[in-house]
Amino acid sequence: MAEVNVEKLAGDIGTTVDKLLQQFSQAGITKQAGDNVTEAEKATLLDHLSKQHGGTGSEGPARMTLQRKSKSTLSVTGSTGKAKAVQVEVRKTRTYVKKSAVEQEQEQQRLAAEEKARLEEQQKAEQAAAELKAKQEAERKAKEDADRKAKEEAKRKADAERKAKQQQMTPEQSAKSEKDRIEAERLQKEAEEAALKKAEEEAKRQAEEARKLAEENSARWKKEEEERKKREETADHHLTTSTYAREAEDVADAREEQGSRRAKKKKKAPAKDKFTASKGKKGKLKAPASLQHGFQKPTADVKNEVRISETITVAELASRMAVKGAEVVKTMMKMGDMVTINQVIDQETAQLVAEEMGHKVIIVKENELEQTVLNDRHEDGKSEPRAPVVTVMGHVDHGKTSTLDYIRSAKVASGEAGGITQHIGAYHVETNGNMITFLDTPGHAAFTSMRARGAKATDIVILVVAADDGVMPQTKEAVQHARAAGVPLIIAVNKMDKEGADPDRVKNELAQLDVIPEEWGGDTQYVHISAKTGLGIDDLLEAVLMQSELLELNAPTEGMAAGVVIESRLDKGRGPVASILVQSGTLNQGDIVLCGLEYGRVRAMRDENGKEIKSAGPSIPVEILGLSGIPAAGDEATVVKDERKAREVALYRQGKFRDVKLARQQKAKLENMFTNMTEGDVSEVNVVLKADVQGSIEAISDSLTKLSTDEVKVKIVGSGVGGITETDATLAAASNAIVVGFNVRADASARKVIDSENLDLRYYSVIYSLIEEVKQAMSGMLAPEFKQEIIGLAEVRDVFKSPKIGAIAGCMVTEGTIKRSAPIRVLRDNVVIYEGELESLRRFKDDVADVRNGMECGIGVKNYNDVRVGDQIEVFETVEVQRTL
Per the CB < 8 A criterion, the answer to whether 344 and 311 are in contact is yes
Q: Report the amino acid identity of residue 140.
A: R
Q: Which residues pair with 360 in a beta bridge?
A: 305
Looking at the predicted structure, is the pLDDT value of residue 874 above 70? yes
Name the 3-class secondary structure at 616: strand
- Residue 192 has a pLDDT of 81
Q: Which of 98-112, 536-550, 823-837 has the lowest mean pLDDT?
A: 98-112
- Residue 55 has a pLDDT of 64
Name the 3-class secondary structure at 773: helix
pLDDT band at 165 (very low <50, low <70, confident <90, very high): confident
Q: Kindly report, residue by residue over 707-766, the tens digit of the pLDDT.
A: 887 777 888 888 888 889 888 888 888 888 889 999 999 998 899 988 888 888 889 888
Give residues with Cβ within 8 angstroms of 63, minimum separation 6.
Answer: 95, 96, 97, 98
Q: What is the mean pLDDT of residues 410-418?
A: 44
Give residues with Cβ within 8 angstroms of 312, minimum separation 6.
Answer: 344, 345, 347, 350
Looking at the predicted structure, is the pLDDT value of residue 58 above 80? no
Q: Pick from 372-386, 737-751, 775-789 the range whose average pLDDT is largest.
A: 737-751
Q: Which of 166-170, 188-192, 433-437, 546-550 has the lowest mean pLDDT?
A: 166-170
Q: What is the mean pLDDT of residues 824-832?
A: 91
Q: Kindly report, residue by residue over 269-326, the tens digit of the pLDDT.
A: 444 444 443 444 444 455 555 555 555 555 566 677 888 877 788 999 999 888 999 9
Per the CB < 8 A criterion, the answer to whether 619 and 385 are in contact is no
- The CA R_g of the chain, rounded to the nearest whole Å, is 56
DSSP codes joined into one string, 335-386: TT----TT-EEEHHHHHHHHHHTT-EEEE----HHHHHHHHT----S-EEE-
Give residues with Cβ within 8 angstroms of 101, minimum separation 6.
Answer: none
How distant is the alpha carbon of residue 518 from its chain centre? 51
- Residue 791 has a pLDDT of 92
Give residues with Cβ within 8 angstroms of 666, minimum separation 6.
Answer: 343, 344, 345
- Residue 452 has a pLDDT of 55
Q: What is the mean pLDDT of residues 628-656?
A: 81
Question: CB-based burial of residue 743 (10 Å sphere; 0-12 exposed, 13-18 middle, 19+ buried)?
Answer: middle
Rounded CA-CA distance 601/644 in Å is 11
- Residue 278 has a pLDDT of 41
Name the 3-class secondary structure at 159: helix
pLDDT band at 263 (very low <50, low <70, confident <90, very high): low
Higher pLDDT, 146 or 426: 146
Q: Kindly report, residue by residue over 679-722, the tens digit of the pLDDT.
A: 445 577 888 999 988 888 888 888 888 888 777 788 888 888 88
Looking at the predicted structure, is the pLDDT value of residue 796 above 90? yes
Q: Kindly report, residue by residue over 74-112, the tens digit of the pLDDT.
A: 777 777 777 778 888 888 888 777 666 667 778 788 888
Nearest residue to 487 via CA among 456, 445, 527? 456
Q: Which of 383-387, 427-431, 461-465 has the lowest mean pLDDT?
A: 427-431
Q: What is the mean pLDDT of residues 636-643?
A: 84
- Residue 879 has a pLDDT of 85
Per the CB < 8 A criterion, the answer to whether 98 and 259 are in contact is no
DSSP codes joined into one string, 94-158: EEEEPPPHHHHHHHHHHHHHHHHHHHHHHHHHHHHHHHHHHHHHHHHHHHHHHHHHHHHHHHHHH
Per the CB < 8 A criterion, the answer to whether 421 and 398 are in contact is no
Rounded CA-CA distance 33/319 in Å is 90
- Residue 512 has a pLDDT of 86
Backbone angles phi, psi at 629, to 5 degrees: -160, -170
pLDDT band at 857 (very low <50, low <70, confident <90, very high): very high
- Residue 224 has a pLDDT of 82
**Any idea how long the chain is?**
885
Looking at the predicted structure, is the pLDDT value of residue 64 above 60? yes
Angle at 241 between CA 240 and CA 245, to 5 degrees: 155
Q: Residues of 368-395 as b/e, b for ≥16 C-beta within 10 angstroms?
A: eebeebeeeeebeeeeeebbbbbbbbbb
Looking at the predicted structure, is the pLDDT value of residue 813 above 90? yes
Nearest residue to 491 via CA among 449, 432, 536? 536
Per the CB < 8 A criterion, the answer to whether 501 and 467 are in contact is yes
